[in-house]
Copies of this chain bind each other. A is one copy, B any other.
Amino acid sequence: MTTRSWVDVPAGSPFPLANLPYGLARRGDQDAHAVMAVGEHAVDLHAAACRGLLPADVPAEVLAQSSLNDLFALGRPVWEGVRRRVAQLLDVHEGELRDDRDAVEQVLVAQADLTLLLPVAVGDYVDFYSSIHHATNLGRILRPDGEPLLANWRHLPVGYHGRAGTLVASGTEVVRPRGLVAGDDGPRWQATDALDFELEVGAIVGVGSELGTRIPAGSVEDHVVGLVLVNDWSARDVQAYEYQPLGPHLGKSFATSLSPWIVTLDALRPHRVPAPPQDPPVASYLRTEQDTAYTIELEVLVQSEQMRREGLEPVCISRNDFSSMYWTIAQQLAHLTVNGASTRPGDLLASGTVSGPVREEAGSLMELTWRGRDPLTLPTGERRGFLADGDRVVLRAWCGQGDERFGFGSVMGTIASAKED
A residues with CB within 8 A of B: 123-124, 126, 129, 150, 152, 155-156, 158-166, 168, 175, 177-180, 186-187, 189, 211-212, 235, 238, 241-250, 253-255, 280, 283-285, 335-336, 338-344, 347, 419
Contact = CB atoms under 8 A, between A and B. Distances in A.
Contacts of A338: 178-179, 250
A235 B280 CA distance: 25
A164 B126 CA distance: 11
Given A250-B339, A255-B211, A419-B340, A164 B124 contact: yes
B254 A156 contact: no
Contacts of A419: 212, 340
A160 B246 contact: yes
Given A186-B280, A248-B246, A255-B211, A180 B155 contact: yes
A187 B124 contact: no
Contact of A339 (B168, B178, B247): B178
Contacts of A175: 212, 340
Contact of A340 (B160, B254, B340): B254
A286 to B, nearest CB: 9
A257 to B, nearest CB: 12
Given A168-B211, A235-B339, A419-B340, A242 B189 contact: no
Given A163-B124, A165-B123, A211-B166, A339 B150 contact: no
Contacts of A165: 123-124, 341-344, 347
A271 to B, nearest CB: 29
Best-surrounded residue of A150, A248, A347 (most CB of chain B within 10 A): A248
A392 B191 CA distance: 47
A160 B243 CA distance: 9
Contacts of A280: 186
Copy number in the complex reads 2
Best-surrounded residue of A162, A178, A189, A347 (most CB of chain B within 10 A): A189
B163 A161 contact: yes
A164 B342 CA distance: 10
A201 B246 CA distance: 18
A177 B340 contact: yes
Contacts of A160: 160-161, 246-249
Contacts of A243: 245-247
B339 A253 contact: yes
A278 to B, nearest CB: 13
Given A124-B165, A177-B340, A250 B335 contact: yes
Contacts of A285: 189
B189 A123 contact: no
Given A150-B245, A161-B163, A165-B342, 19 more contacts: A123-B164, A124-B163, A126-B249, A152-B180, A152-B241, A155-B187, A158-B245, A158-B246, A159-B246, A159-B249, A161-B161, A163-B341, A165-B343, A165-B344, A166-B342, A180-B283, A189-B285, A246-B247, A250-B335
